[in-house]
Structure 1
Amino acid sequence: MMKIYMAQVKRTCFKYVVLPLLFMFCIVWNSNTATEPFENYIQEIPHSNLGFGMNAIPGGDFIMGSPKNETGHMEDESPERKVHIDAFWMGTHEVTWDLFEMFLDKDYEKAISTKPLPDNVDGLSRPSTPYLDMTFGMGKENKPAIAMTQYGAIQFCHWLYEKTGVFYRLPTEAEWEYAARAGSSERYFFGEDSSRLEDYAWFGENSGGTTHEVGKKKPNPWGLYDILGNAMEWTYDQYEPYEATQGVILNPTKHPEKLYPQVLRGGHYESVDVELRVAKRFISDPVWKQLDPQIPKSKWWFPEAPFVGMRLVRPLKAPSPEEIDQYYNKQPISDY
């Protein structure tokens, strides 16, 4: 009898004590390890009717740079190196004035918001009011925001973080090239034939000397529109020549240690065809500020760079709060 009784006690204990505890453990474990599905999504701007698309870019390896026999090759594109990039999201389009103007003009942001701005957003540092038409007569509606400094681009990302709670940043140079190639090892993501650029990009031959609405050309295979042409795009990296390496480099980043030069990619609406090659590197130049009459010169704007824009990235693995703060406030970026 005692054995039967003890067996019943064990069964009862397992059913009413152990199983519920296991169930609760599974819930807690899943809640701590569950991640957002890695797929394309639309990021809505809270309390507004605005949003923007983000495309899932799978991780992988690629050869960064270009061979010396590539048409248009520049010396700073070699030696080629093998790079591994972790998965991330990238903006479907370049950041447009529709979005950037909310950050630029707090009164405009308040006017179109359905709720008062929270303190963390209301108290953010904003760009100085430009003394020029920073569209340079090219218009704003659904067109890429242009002429911001790298500092201004990063602070736009900071504003987005405070608005959405999601960490957005500029792509590294390696992330940009990896995403632009979309698996290709040729001059352009669509091959070697530059005559096909008309289908994918606004550049010197078809732009009429102006930016155009985003998304009007064909995207690359990973769904990124205007990754070549229209507006040249900021990366986060300090410019330096490539060095010979062994093995695979993991997520390379050259953190800025000085204000100039930084790397931009993609070419723009006045570029010639060889400047739209996915390996082509551009660098920022303080001469882009020489028309600025302010003393000190604005840390927000490049009045002689109407061809400079930006595209967003979101890493699959979110950084820590300390890393996020360091990114948005890193010296010397805040010393413009």
Structure 2
Amino acid sequence: MMSSAKWSLVLFILGCFFQGCSKNPNDEPKNSAPIASFFATPEIGDTSTDFQFDASGCSDTQDPVSALQVRWDWENDGGWDTDFAADKIVTHRYNVADTWTVNLEVKDSGGLTGSATRQVTVNNYAGAIELQWVAIAGGTFDMGDTFGDGQGWELPVHEVALDSFQISKYEVTNAQYAKFLNEYGSDQVKAGEFAGETMIFEYSRGVEKSDETWRPAPGYDNYPVIFVTWYGAFEFCSFYGFRLPTEAEWEYVARGGSMSNGYKYSGGDNPDAVAWYDANSDKQTHHVGTKAANEVQVYDMSGNVWEWCRDWFSNAGYISWPPSNPQGPEFGNFRVLRGGSNQIDEKFLRVCCRGSNYPTYFHNTFGFRCAR
């Protein structure tokens, strides 16, 4: 029989054993706050840029990254713009140019959080290409229906003398016009003689407005701007210190200026080589400059879109026009359109063909180019 002393020793040993095997709550590892981390791509963009924010670099001692949740504050204004979510990669577009501080908060399964900030720089929309100019040497030419197959308002054929000037190599594009609208701050004329007049309307192959910012329709940056009124063409030119070409200047350039070869269409006698028109365009606008240039290296003066000119139109023809630098009638109801378009036949592509419409009118075949 075991003595009481031995039992005491056994109980002491067992007590020590069980005491050593038990866990002390204070010895367990504590949950620590997750570490927030993210980067932005790109860090510098403009109001057309979709910035991507990637928080997949967040970490936590207890939870895997997939278990962490994040939320975002895009403007550092003290309010969260998104709810907590498991997605770590998101995009955001800014409508106002500025340097923006972006806040990220990450949360683990225990409710602990961590935060991080970064800055992105947003510039004004700058996707438009600059206008390219062609210098046109002054000279004289016979203006009007020199081919004998036009309308009465293309007569009489008369000699015109012009001073030297410059004209834009291409029709004004959607990207260029969207840039103008964002810089101008309105789609209506803001001041002056034409204040309040509408300049342009949204269109699927033209320019579109989203979140107070104008942009080219996706994929149509360098297509000619359309759905633009005469007032919209005039104000664009005025805003940048340019002007619309006079009708006489327009025809002179379309004919090839002082280098003219006497072609019926601008750049040649084969319309398919120089123009987008109903027979080859699918009756849609096309990227500027994709047909052959004319003698002075100006593009699309036949076809693609009708182009607004400065002048009032008179269906009486060229009656009482001065022989030098004519500016057209002093008043009228319609403004001149030139060049034909993608939706009509080759008769309207002739360099002497005249069109017109109300200055308030817009269409998916109306555009323009600039002069100075």
Query: SS of the residue aligned with 1:178?
Result: helix
Query: Unmatched 5+ residue regions in structure 1?
Result: 1-45, 110-119, 162-167, 287-298, 315-336
* Partner secondary structure for residue 283 of structure 1: strand
Distance in 2 of aligned mates of 1:230 and 1:138: 19
Q: Measure, in 1, the Cα distance between the counterparts of 2:303 and 2:202.
A: 27
Distance 1:233 1:249 in 2: 23
The match for 1:142 among 205, 210, 222 is 222
148 and 57 in structure 1: CA distance in 2 versus 1, 3 angstrom threshold? same
User: For the Cα contact (< 8 Å) 1:177–1:279, is it kept in 2?
Assistant: yes
Q: Once the 2 structures are TM-superposed, how far is the Cα of residue 135 of structure 1 from its aligned partner?
A: 2.6
Q: CA RMSD in A?
A: 3.2
Structure 1 distance, partners of 2:162, 2:281, is 33
Please point out which of 235, 244, 253 is paired with 1:179: 253
Residue pair 2:253, 2:296 contacting (<8 A) in 1 also: yes
Indicate the residue corresponding to 2:178 in structure 1: 101
After superposition, give the CA deviation of every residue in 1:178-237 in whole Å (9 maximum; x if it has no partner): 00001244422445x4xx111111011100110000011110010001111001100011
Q: Against the structure 1 CA distance between its residues 199 and 242, is the aligned structure 2 distance closer, same or farther, given a 3 Å change threshold?
A: same
Encode CA deviations 1:47-71: one digit per residue, 9 max, x unaligned. Answer: 956312000011000000014x62x
The answer to whether residue 370 in structure 2 is matched with residue 312 in structure 1 is yes
- Asked whether the equivalents of residues 256 and 262 of structure 1 are also in contact (C-alpha less than 8 Å), the reply is no
Residues in 1 aligned to 2:203 and 2:299: alpha-carbon distance in whole angstroms: 28
- The structure where helix makes up a greater share of residues is 1
Between structures 1 and 2, the one with greater strand share? 2
One-letter amino acid matched to 2:352:
A
Give distance in 1, aligned partners of 2:184 and 2:249: 35
In the comparison of the two structures, how many residue pairs are matched? 228
The residue that corresponds to 1:55 in the other structure is 134
2:307 aligned counterpart, secondary structure? strand
Structure 1 residues 95 and 189: CA distance shift in structure 2, 3 A = closer
Return closer, same or farther for 1:278/1:155 CA change in 2, 3 Å cut-off. same
Is the Cα–Cα contact under 8 Å of residues 101 and 108 in structure 1 kept in the other structure?
Answer: no
Letter in structure 2 aligned against 1:281: R
Q: Provide the TM-score with structure 2 as the length reference.
A: 0.55
Query: RCO greater where, 1 or 2, for CA within 8 Å and sep 6 or more?
Result: 1
Alpha-carbon contact 2:125-2:182 (below 8 Å) kept: no
- Counterpart CA distance in 2 for 1:268 and 1:180 is 14
Find the partner of 1:92 among 158, 164, 169. Answer: 169
Query: Does the CA-based 8 Å contact 1:236-1:255 persist in structure 2?
Result: no
Cα distance, 1:256 vs structure 2: 5.1
TM-score between the two structures when normalised by the length of structure 1: 0.61
Q: Any residues of structure 2 matched to 1:40-51 within 5 Å, and which?
A: 48=126, 50-51=129-130
Instruction: Supply the distance in 2 between the matched residues of 1:171 and 1:61 (Cα, whole angstroms).
Output: 16
Change (3 A) 1:47 1:88: farther
Q: Per-residue deviation at 1:158? A: 2.0
Paired AA for residue 242 in structure 1: G
In the alignment, what sits opposite 1:155? Answer: 235
Of 278, 289, 306 in structure 1, the residue corresponding to residue 351 of structure 2 is 278
- Offset of residue 86 of structure 1: 0.6
